């Protein structure tokens, strides 16, 4: 029986976040350049987006390019940007057929203009879809996002739009790039690294973490279903006792 068949259908996470890691190591296994790993990583993205849509996940957030990734060799950064544009060009029709919407979180303005244009083209095309929302984290880091939110809240306090006495968790949520999305119930990281690497730090306060040794280019929808199966058999207590949760 496949993991997909074993899933409890009324317990599918609404929001899954993935740190796609291990492309470079995957390429090195074959004596290839890191970019070769990123290219194959796109096939994993396709499979996972398809799988998430099939089982009714509402949001899938992929860490595609971090603020820190700008520090990689310029050839690799350029290759990643080209790959992104190419993937969006090639996949938007299929995303349309699958009723997928797209959204971006991160410092979009820091991306090359042609990348921004391609992203906007795809986002606009897919905007009326009602199925899965694919959220691409690009030039994203959580500390950047939180800093920007604090800056904006401070500005709104100064201009009288926000009363400091009214700052609470919900208000902070509304200043995040993820405003309007549920927090992820499940965060997956591939390649055996057990870190969260500046990803959605505010949003993952109660998220279940799942680490797999699989390298990203080897990850497929069946691996996603396995991660969800694992998640479904955990007890989420949110600070309460086991008895309170069960009763
Ligand atoms: C991490 O592997 C992966 C990345 C920094 C980039 C992920 C990008 C893609 C899969 C392609 C484009 C994405 C979309 C959404 C179309 P790594 O390079 O850090 O690998 P390593 O840890 O083995 O060096």
Domains in the chain: boundaries: 11-141+183-237
How many whole angstroms from 30 Cα to the centroid of ligand 1? Answer: 16
In order along its 247 residues, the chain shows pLDDT tens digits of 999 999 999 999 999 999 999 999 999 999 999 999 999 999 999 999 999 999 999 999 999 999 999 999 999 999 999 999 999 999 999 999 999 999 999 999 999 999 999 999 999 999 999 999 999 999 999 999 999 999 999 999 999 999 999 999 999 999 999 999 999 999 999 999 999 999 999 999 999 999 999 999 999 999 999 999 999 999 888 888 888 887 6
Q: What is the DSSP string of 14-35?
A: SEEEEE---HHHHHHHTT--HH
CA end-to-end span of the chain: 31
pLDDT at 31 (0 to 100)? 98
Within 6 A (CB) of ligand 1 lie 20-25, 34, 38, 41-42, 45, 62, 64, 69, 80, 83-84, 87, 136, 191, 216
pLDDT at 237 (0 to 100)? 83
Q: Is 21 an active-site residue?
A: yes
How many whole angstroms from 216 Cα to the centroid of ligand 1? Answer: 8
> What pTM was estimated for this model as a whole?
0.96
State the Cα angle at 140 between 142 and 151, rounded to 5°. 55
pLDDT at 173 (0 to 100)? 98
Exposed (0-12), middle (13-18) or buried (19+): which is 209, by Cβ within 10 Å? middle
The token pair at 60 is 């899938």
Element of type H or E holding 105 = strand 101-105
Q: Is 218 an active-site residue?
A: no
pLDDT at 245 (0 to 100)? 85
pLDDT at 243 (0 to 100)? 87
How many whole angstroms from 203 Cα to the centroid of ligand 1? Answer: 22
Answer whether CATH 3.40.640.10 is correct for domain 11-141+183-237. no
């Amino acid at each position: 029986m496949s993991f997909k068949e074993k899933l409890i259908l009324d317990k599918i996470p609404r929001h899954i976040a993935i740190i796609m890691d291990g492309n470079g190591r995957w390429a090195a296994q074959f004596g290839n350049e890191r970019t070769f790993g990123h290219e194959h990583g796109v096939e994993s993205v396709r499979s996972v987006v398809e799988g998430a849509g099939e089982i009714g996940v509402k949001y899938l957030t992929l860490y595609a390019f971090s603020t820190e990734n700008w520090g990689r060799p310029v050839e690799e950064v350029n290759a990643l940007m080209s790959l992104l544009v190419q993937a969006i060009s090639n996949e938007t029709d299929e995303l349309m057929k699958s009723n997928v919407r797209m959204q971006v979180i991160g410092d979009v303005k820091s991306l090359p203009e042609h990348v921004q244009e391609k992203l906007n083209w795809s986002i606009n095309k897919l905007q009326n879809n009602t199925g899965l929302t694919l959220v691409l984290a690009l030039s994203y880091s959580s500390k950047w996002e939180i800093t920007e939110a604090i800056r904006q809240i401070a500005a709104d306090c100064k201009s009288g739009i926000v009363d400091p006495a009214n700052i609470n968790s919900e208000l902070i949520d509304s200043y995040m790039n993820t405003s309007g999305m549920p927090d992820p119930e499940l965060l997956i990281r591939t390649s055996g690294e057990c870190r969260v690497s500046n990803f959605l730090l505010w949003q993952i306060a109660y998220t279940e973490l799942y680490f797999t040794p699989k390298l990203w280019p080897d990850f497929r929808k069946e691996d996603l279903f396995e991660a969800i199966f694992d998640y479904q058999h955990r007890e989420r207590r949110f600070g309460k006792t086991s008895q309170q949760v069960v009763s």
